[in-house]
Chains A and B, each alone.
Chain A
């Protein structure tokens, strides 16, 4: 029987417009990964309650550096931690091979700002919804 196995890659954005390189070997027991999802973890006291675009994954490759067309934004809403629908709107990924390496670039948009226009550092979780055999 197949079951979902979540892989969570944690990173931290500390400066405005920072580009973060993600290079992670995926666990060998996974059959495939079906989706990717980004989330700003922390509570941020942003000047604007809703920031639609905090940053985005600008490129992504799986399977020995073969790039797949990819772009996914992450937003933030300080007044609404929980949504009207479950936050599992995944961008679909390619099927991974054994010993796959995930390589991606995340770029901060510089929009996580407080009242004084000071950048607010934040933690970012990248969720991979993968499938494994029981």
Chain B
């Protein structure tokens, strides 16, 4: 089994200034959420847009947390686009079917933004502890 998966949650923002609640369950076959990426289709839609996010009941981003804090340009290598906590406090939230819930609130900038638009929340989920294969009997018998 692969130890890494990217789980995608799409959130539709219907109109200027609208707030959309979202919820999903993490894949049961993976143990931890280790990164979050928020992608909005237009640069200007990051202005004032806020995300609130909880994973397994724990607050990751409180109300009013700006999307632009999470956003990075396409010049950034894909792996580095994920929010992963900080160096001393790496994100490792329980997955295995846990609830992801939150709200995305559009910031109201309408210059160069077309409504409705679809935001993508990408969760990086992993199995950190690799399952070991059982030791083969023949090897055990070698003296």
Per the bound structure, the CA–CA distance linking A6 and B72 in Å amounts to 20
Cβ of B61 under 8 Å from chain A: yes
Binds B, one of A46-54, A62-70, A77-85, A95-103: A77-85
A82–B46 CB distance below 8 A: yes
Report chain B residues within 8 Å CB of A42.
47-48, 107-109
Cβ of A59 under 8 Å from chain B: no
Binds B, one of A15-23, A109-117, A123-131: A123-131
B76–A81 CB distance below 8 A: no
Cβ of A41 under 8 Å from chain B: yes
A131–B76 CB distance below 8 A: no
Per the bound structure, the CA–CA distance linking A11 and B46 in Å amounts to 19
Report chain B residues within 8 Å CB of A81.
43-47, 68, 71
* A-B Cβ contacts below 8 A, count: 78
The CB with the most chain B CB atoms within 10 A, among A8, A42, A43, is that of: A43
Cβ of A10 under 8 Å from chain B: yes
Cβ of B126 under 8 Å from chain A: no
Q: Sort chain B's interface into a size bin.
A: 20 to 34
CB distance from B42 to the nearest CB of A (A): 9
CB distance from A69 to the nearest CB of B (A): 23
A3–B89 CB distance below 8 A: yes
Cβ of B115 under 8 Å from chain A: no
Residue of A nearest to B76 (CB): A84
Report chain B residues within 8 Å CB of A129.
86
Contact of A86 among B44, B65, B66, B72 (CB under 8 A): B72
A-B contact pairs, 7 of them (CB 8 A): A3-B58, A6-B65, A39-B66, A43-B47, A84-B73, A85-B72, A87-B68
Closest 6 A/B residue pairs (Cβ) = A43-B109, A82-B71, A43-B47, A81-B46, A81-B43, A8-B64
